[in-house]
Structure 1
């Protein structure tokens, strides 16, 4: 049986180091699932399970957006939230060298470089939200307010397509 430290991701190590309370939830998953599939598998309300999306602005800067898994990122709202003329999604093949994470296991915590991060304002409706813990088959649940203790800057905005 693997030791607990074998299950720790870099994101969890950062949370431990900062004393930030969280709960890690592991599940068997041979390949990346959609966020709604993960929410269903874990018995969570899909409105409080967030996906982590990495974008590049027209300026060349990178940004991270967190939105509910059943929603679609509104690129115009996202660009406005970070003061860019436009943002575009980073291609899956570019995710690992940029963030240190693979598609389906991308956490907003402990990326290779901390990019400005914006979370959809609906996160504040919940005591706890879930998001990738830093590998496929791992979700972290924590209070959205605590996320700002480990991700700076962390701002909030309306980011989803209506």
Structure 2
């Protein structure tokens, strides 16, 4: 296993997490990824990086099988609209590439919002800093290394 920025950061901060890899499984979609590691797809959260009209960048964690409610989320943030950060901008902003973007240890600090459905989970699975890598941890452990808020983000 290659140590990513995310994994090193979690280890350096003594965060309790479980590592999962699906890189050799051929899984692509969220439900396939969850099946490949034997976990409930409702606990698998994808990282979505968006920019508001204000040019402020935001990070969202939403269930992998759900879509972000852009209008509702923009209103929550006090933005007029949100748009996806394009692939060319992602790495300079976050330090991560598309598909391997973790909300942890990003190059810049961003306002981060986790969908409220995470409150129903004992643990959540998030990107481990590389395609095929996931970390499973509690929201309490995540809070030790990531300043986040919780809101209803799903369509």
Please give the TM-score of this superposition, normalised by the length of structure 1.
Answer: 0.89
Match of 2:112 in 1: 117
**23-32 or 74-83, which moves further after superposition?**
23-32
SS of equivalent to 1:21: coil
Alignment of 1:21-36 (within 5 A): 21-29=16-24, 33-36=28-31
Counterpart pick for 1:104 among 99, 106, 121: 99
| Alpha-carbon RMSD | 1.7
Deviation string, structure 1 residues 110-130 (Cα, Å, up to 9, x no partner) = 111121100001101111110
Match of 1:41 in 2: 36
Alignment of 1:1-162 (within 5 A): 7-29=2-24, 33-152=28-147, 154-161=148-155
Q: 2:77 and 2:7 mapped to 1: Cα distance?
A: 27
Structure 2 runs not aligned, ≥5 long = none
Structure 1 runs not aligned, ≥5 long = none
Q: 2:65 and 2:24 mapped to 1: Cα distance?
A: 19
Please give the TM-score of this superposition, normalised by the length of structure 2.
Answer: 0.92
